[in-house]
Structure 1
Amino acid sequence: MYNLFVTLVSAAVFTSVAVALPAPTQTQQKRADTASVVLPQGTIVGSVSNGVENYGGIPFAQAPVGSLRLKPPQKLNTSLSTFDATGLGPSCPQMFFSTDGDLLTSVLGDLIDLPLFQVATGQTEDCLTMRVQRPAGTAADAKLPVLFWIFGGGFELGSPSMYDASSLVSNGVDQDKPFVFVSVNYRVAGFGFLGGKEILADGAANLGLLDQRMGLEWVQDNIEAFGGDPEKVTIWGESAGAISVFDQMALYDGDNSYNGKKLFRAAIMNSGSVVPADPVDSARPQGIYDAVVKEAGCDGDSDTLACLRNADYDTFLNAVNSVPGLLSYTSVSLSYLPRPDGKVLTDSPDVLALNGRYAAVPMIIGDQEDEGTLFSLFQSNITNTDELVNYIWKIFFPAIDRQYVEGLVDTYDPSVEAGSPFNTGALNNPYPEFKRLAAILGDMVFTLTRRVFLDSASSVNPDVPSWSYLASYDRGTPILGTFHGSDLLQVFYGILPNYASNAIQSYYISFLYTTDPNDGTSSNYPQWPQWKENNELMQFWSDKSNLLADDFRNTSQAYIADNAAIFLI
């Protein structure tokens, strides 16, 4: 049975990845031309391919190395002169998935090493850069809307070099709605989201979020030179990127102003929103910090943070990567993530949302139907309800009474037919508690948390519109269903030119232009009602869409909402 499980999952993931791989990028093609843009700090030379200009690796901050390691980003204060941006740009140091452990972990690890999920360009601490893509020949006075992308990767890995938006940009041109695409490089894992009381005291918390914020400020200062309109910026992210989108809305209690103007006017969140989190100096992040300090050989030092800053690159990289990673037994109990620090992120994101302490802008927010399956592949030792409760309790919420976790699990139907991947009957359950665990993890981190957030947003900001969706276009994928991240295939790359890809991209581009996904979208696609009207989702399939009542698993949602104050990661 186990070998069959491995075979099925390997085939499913391999097929998805193989399909997802984009067409050869401009680094693989002969570049026929270059283009340039003049900024206050220098002339930026980019490449041109297939009607799209690419400017990669443009520095927006000083290199966060040496004394600036584990420090907030500092704006660039040197001239770029003539800067070669014809490549894709660097990657920040990554927390690569381990291939150690059981056979399943090894198989998935090898597959995830394929280009879609891993960074092809070199890693360096000097990585705080921007990537800009625009239609070829865009004039400096074009005033095009700006789509600002924040990549995902569990706050552990990712880079703008992984995301070639050429097809999106071309699609905008084809719809007579050209736009400028911008992606920001930010520090991940222990370089960008290390916690602990030492980090808090030093003002070094949530550095990755601060990198993103400085990237947004760079857009305000420079995007007009690329033909973009700084007053028409929409922030968009997937997974950790979507969580980051809400965090950008909530930073400084919702103050998203810069030089008297707003940094963004709208938001799109794919698979992520609010993540209730313990403070930076609470037990779990402190434990991670202490483990990193020990692995780096700094545990005997009187100033452990200074020791980490002074450690050589490889020592520090290995130390921050020595703690549990995303695709492992501990799953979405992340070692690194944004946490309240009292200043940048003043409280738990769910509290900020409930109290309206965030920049309320029009938003699109939604999920894949089976968000939890990818994160439930490593717990095959869980064979009954008692073991399921113990797993969730010990891995995610060890500080609370076990009875609260029992209550949560009790809201989920124990039958195989009720679990995730949903609506697949008795199939796709490789170990006894897989489908129930997948349902719980997907709901707590993504799907039902989204609904709790929408409830809060509709209450505190009833006049600010929002639209929500559920993607079901990959329901037939064995074991995984419409799994977390599969929207990158359909929405970002549009690899499969089917209804789902075309419809969602059309809605998004219309939203980018008007902050309403319906305004200007083809009549081939149905009217998408605001969520607050009837609490309905747009459900996307590969060949159609329909409205769906957002009331599934209501008992579980109520339990999660009622206990949000204790269900903190």
Structure 2
Amino acid sequence: MMKLAVVSAVTAGLWPLVAAAPSPSAAAKDATTPVTVTISSGTILGKASDTVDTFNGIPFADPPIGDLRFRPPVRLSRDLGTFDATGVAAACPAGPTFSFKDLFPPSDVAGALTGGLHPPNAAEGAVAAAILESSAGEASTSSEDCLTISVQRPHGVEAGAGLPVLFWIFGGGFVAGSTSGFDGTKLIETGVLHSQPFIFVAVNYRVGAWGFMPGKEILEEGSGNAGLLDQRMGLEWVADNIEAFGGDPGKVTVWGESSGAISTFEQLVLYDGDATYKGNDLFRAAIMDSGSITPVDPLDTQKGQDVYDAVKKAAGCDVDDSLACLRGLDNGNFTVAANSVPGIISYQSLALSYLPRPDGTVLTDSPDALAKAGKFHHVPMILGNQEDEGTLFAIFQQDMSTTDKIVNYLSRFYFHTATKQQVTDFVNTYSPEIADGSPYRTFGSFDFFKGRKRIASILGDLVFDLIRRVTLQIVDNVSPELSTWAYFSSYNYDPKYGVLGTAHGSDINVLFKKDNANYPTLSGRTYYINFLHNLDPNNGTRTDLFWPQWSEGHQLLNFEAKSISLKDDDYRNSSYSYMFNHVESLHF
């Protein structure tokens, strides 16, 4: 792998900008000055700090409760009057994420609990769950009445300012997350610092069984992928209302991380790529951090039906009209049933119970098939990954010491249409040597059970890393004129200890929470803000290093701990080639 260029942040001349940035105390000041914005549904009361105006939890849809549980969102039908948006937006109900019973192979739970198996590292599981919840932005309260938008803007901006809009879709494995954990203040202050101000918008959407319930019952009713439709209605709300906050509805960039990035790609292919509303495009660009295409089977596939049947059984709703029964439960009892299936921090890991699946209408096919057919919204894109995407999800598989054990695991929980030989051929593209697994470049660390680093590498590539390269190549084949950029983050590399490496979700702290004095926070924000304003990460504020388009040599912008470089996008190429050539057989 050839390093083509290296430039430090210091020599790039960005540090003088840090000194000019607003102080953290000013940014964090909890001023009491009210600020109001009037939209068609009412007068929205927000709060103003010295640098940012914030409006939290503005409803955009009717509460999806009672008969509306699972159904597509219904546009807000009531007048809000004067609405207090100064508090914290409630999260949608969440789960399943982590429980002790899910740490073991399903057929071996009893033996494990009685000492028949070597117990997995539950402490690591708790850490993994905490990382997931941190990156998902959990709120302190939750409610089914949760379909809300939060808006932040530079203080003093008024209606008609025409600022571009950064539309955030949070991650959390489609089972967790909320807008309340994502304060855009530091991003907005950086935009002002660069004389490129913008509006930050975050959308709450239903997760877990509430937003992504599978099964033939859901399919026949036409209620599939409600969570994606929540996101789409949030974009429509922006089109209708963001001018009143000072935004330009014609300059929206959708940005997501993890399942939020997967959701961003789903928004590209929703309705076969039709992203128009009232005759105009809902967004003009997309950023996907750790997520892109996720190849999946239909909503009523056997895996999906098994999930639905498990939930209705746990709920005591194994009756003729099971949907009516499930809708009749209070949210507490429904939550217990909905979360009775395995969570994301578990033995089954990324073989998710709840995720977007083709329903024939909203999502007419698997995203990979839609992309290959050119049925996606053709806009400039940034896609990227953390170096060690899989370590967070490779804690509880226990013994993966042979190719056969990994093949059996993947065949049982992930690939229900692939043949055993296909899965074997894919697994054999990964080296069994400990030093070759993830966290990469760390030799023997992290190998708590045999094969752990190998399965970490496989899971990270399937869902996040190499599937990004597959996505870029498909897009480039279909639309070679489309502008795309790709990055790679390795800033948490530790050759001595490894731990989780630059794990999935590492970018959340870097981009949202750290001050600009922390490298590469300022650099990463600068590229994104340039892209938001000018549809090119190099155009605007001077950056550390010129970032070439991916199609121009397949190079990645590599964010390291103290510097930035260009890196060839050719690692684990045999695994990538197998994924690209057999993606239709690797559906979840």
The verdict on a shared fold, with TM-score over 0.5 as the criterion, is yes
Q: CA deviation at 1:401?
A: 2.2
Letter paired with 1:151: F
Does residue 49 in structure 1 map to residue 66 in structure 2?
A: no
The verdict on how the C-alpha distance between 1:99 and 1:341 changes in structure 2, with shifts beyond 3 A counting, is closer
CA distance in 1, matches of 2:141, 2:461: 35
Which residue number corresponds to residue 527 of structure 2?
Answer: 507
**RMSD of aligned residue pairs (Cα, Å):** 1.8
Asked whether the 8 Å contact 1:119–1:159 carries over to 2, the reply is yes
Q: CA deviation at 1:475?
A: 1.0
Superposed, which structure 2 residues align to 1:449-528 within 5 Å?
449-476=467-494, 478-495=498-515, 497-523=517-543, 525-528=544-547
SS, match of residue 405 in structure 1: helix
Letter paired with 1:159: S
SS, match of residue 116 in structure 1: helix
Asked whether the 8 Å contact 2:290–2:386 carries over to 1, the reply is yes
Does residue 293 in structure 1 map to residue 309 in structure 2?
A: no
The verdict on how the C-alpha distance between 1:30 and 1:467 changes in structure 2, with shifts beyond 3 A counting, is closer
Superposed, which structure 2 residues align to 1:251-400 within 5 Å?
251-299=270-318, 301-400=319-418
Give 2:197's match in structure 1, choosing from 178, 190, 211.
Answer: 178
Superposed, which structure 2 residues align to 1:433-448 within 5 Å?
433-448=451-466
Give 2:125's match in structure 1, choosing from 90, 96, 108.
Answer: 108
Asked whether the 8 Å contact 2:165–2:248 carries over to 1, the reply is yes
CA distance in 2, matches of 1:555, 1:98: 33
Of structures 1 and 2, the one scoring higher in RCO (CA 8 A, sep 6+) is 2
Asked whether the 8 Å contact 2:96–2:341 carries over to 1, the reply is no
The verdict on how the C-alpha distance between 1:398 and 1:345 changes in structure 2, with shifts beyond 3 A counting, is closer
The verdict on how the C-alpha distance between 1:151 and 1:512 changes in structure 2, with shifts beyond 3 A counting, is same
CA distance in 2, matches of 1:323, 1:112: 16
Deviations 1:528-567 (A, max 9, x none): 0000010111111121111111111111111112221111
CA distance in 2, matches of 1:49, 1:435: 46
SS, match of residue 429 in structure 1: coil
CA distance in 2, matches of 1:496, 1:325: 35
Asked whether the 8 Å contact 1:494–1:502 carries over to 2, the reply is no
Letter paired with 1:32: T
Q: CA deviation at 1:360?
A: 1.0
CA distance in 2, matches of 1:103, 1:565: 33
Q: CA deviation at 1:454?
A: 0.7
CA distance in 2, matches of 1:24, 1:252: 45
Asked whether the 8 Å contact 1:99–1:109 carries over to 2, the reply is no
Asked whether the 8 Å contact 2:64–2:145 carries over to 1, the reply is yes
Letter paired with 1:330: Q
236-245 vs 42-51, greater mean Cα deviation: 42-51
Does residue 164 in structure 1 map to residue 180 in structure 2?
A: no
Deviations 1:182-232 (A, max 9, x none): 000000000000000000000000000000000000000000000000000
Letter paired with 2:530: S
Superposed, which structure 2 residues align to 1:39-78 within 5 Å?
39-78=39-78
The verdict on how the C-alpha distance between 1:110 and 1:425 changes in structure 2, with shifts beyond 3 A counting, is closer
Which residue number corresponds to residue 11 of structure 2?
Answer: none
Q: CA deviation at 1:105?
A: 3.0
Q: CA deviation at 1:430?
A: 2.2
SS, match of residue 475 in structure 2: helix
Q: CA deviation at 1:501?
A: 1.1
What is the number of equivalent residue pairs in this alignment?
A: 544
CA distance in 1, matches of 2:38, 2:346: 46
136-145 vs 191-200, greater mean Cα deviation: 136-145
Q: CA deviation at 1:24?
A: 9.7
Give 1:208's match in structure 2, choosing from 213, 216, 227.
Answer: 227
Q: CA deviation at 1:29?
A: 6.3
Instruction: Structure 2: state its 5+ residue gaps.
Output: 1-23, 102-118
CA distance in 2, matches of 1:456, 1:324: 32
Which residue number corresponds to residue 561 of structure 1?
Answer: 580
CA distance in 1, matches of 2:241, 2:151: 11
Asked whether the 8 Å contact 1:62–1:73 carries over to 2, the reply is yes
Q: CA deviation at 1:463?
A: 1.1
SS, match of residue 316 in structure 2: coil
343-352 vs 98-107, greater mean Cα deviation: 98-107
